[in-house]
Amino acid sequence: MSAPDLSTEFLSLPLANPLMNASGVWCTRVAELEALLDSAAGAMVTKSCTLTRRDGNPEPRYRTLTGPGLAGSLNSMGLPNEGHGYYLDYAAQHDYEQKPLFFSVSGLTLDDNLTIVAAARDAVLPVQLELNLSCPNVPGKAQPAYDFAAMDELVTEVASAYRRPFGVKLPPYFDFAHFDAAAEILNRHDHLAWVTCINSVGNALVIDTANESTVIRPKDGFGGLGGDYVLPIALANVNAFHRRCPGKVIIGCGGVRSGEHVFQHLLAGATLVQVGTALYEEGLGVFSRLNRELARLMESKGYSRIADFQGALRTL
């Protein structure tokens, strides 16, 4: 059998493979974006942007977590970014032939979001706009996706302002009633073409026993959890929205650090799979390693292409 074909499509765009960075990792500055473009990732996304530049939360605001057999991260970055114009300038010179570019938007108010969305619309670029409804780290700002009325209003306003396909990034949900409520809102919008599941598990607390203290400074130590700890939560959300939003593409994010994890996200219904903590820890070489591991696993199962198993999770 010849080597498995990892190529795939996102909204009819061809990709060499289903991997991309998770927004926030390796995507804040142009030099990082250019390195991502040259990496083995199939697509890439910019750091979630606000209307104007932000320094983000005070340091230390990211901690690598190691535990017995588990690896992960806790972050409370607070949306440090260069402001929306910086990323639109990058988007204007991005090589779309090489790989698709997602433009992540996380305005601090409805008006900020609409201003950024209008700027992206008027730039008329082949960029994929994604509305981040799930940043847990801005003090005093709730995650819009945990307030269904606010989420409904924001998605409705953005859909009518943008008038092109766009996506949303969701936080994890933990109850079928919440999967249903979120899906009902998303399914009402034809222009809402994809759903990225999940952002970090917000407001987790990690304690340093020796120092009897928190491990990051912002928000009294509460931050977004990523890595191994969140893989089953991410898979549940990918599969829950894959089942409930049959007309929408699902992008999986959370807990991916091996080819087997990529396979599991695809099996649960993801079309693309993002890498966050593992990219932060390992660097850009993670993409070729994950592609190799995915290909080896597919080969061992007799699969020659992703469509052979994508979304085909069996239940007992």
255 binds ligand SIN (CB under 6 A): no
270 binds ligand SIN (CB under 6 A): no
Please identify, using beta-carbon distances, which residue of 46 and 199 lies nearer to ligand SIN. 199
Please identify, using beta-carbon distances, which residue of 48 and 274 lies nearer to ligand SIN. 48
48 binds ligand SIN (CB under 6 A): yes
User: Is 197 among the residues known to form the active site?
Assistant: no
Please identify, using beta-carbon distances, which residue of 74 and 294 lies nearer to ligand SIN. 74
Stretch in the footprint of ligand SIN (CB under 6 A) among 26-34, 71-79, 115-123, 208-216: 71-79
Binding mask 192-221 for ligand SIN (x = CB under 6 A): -------xx---------------------
Tell me, letter by letter, the H, E, C secondary structure of the chain. Answer: CCCCECCEEECCEEECCCEEECCCCCCCCHHHHHHHHHCCCCEEECCCECCCCECCCCCCCEEEEECCCCEEEEECCCCCECCHHHHHHHHHHCCCCCCCEEEEECCCCHHHHHHHHHHHHHHCCCCEEEEECCCCCCCCCCCHHHCHHHHHHHHHHHHHHHCCCEEEEECCCCCHHHHHHHHHHHHCCCCEEEEEECCCEEEEECEECCCCEECCCHHHHEEEEEEHHHHHHHHHHHHHHHHHCCCCEEEEECCCCCHHHHHHHHHHCCCEEEECHHHHHHCCCHHHHHHHHHHHHHHHHCCCEHHHCCCCCCCC
113 binds ligand SIN (CB under 6 A): no
Q: Which entry of 49, 135, 245, 253 is annotated as an active-site residue? A: 135
Applying the rule CB under 6 A, the residues between 139 and 198 that interact with ligand SIN are none
Contacts to ligand SIN by CB under 6 A: 24, 48, 77-79, 132, 134-135, 137, 199-200, 224
Question: What are the catalytic residues?
Answer: 135
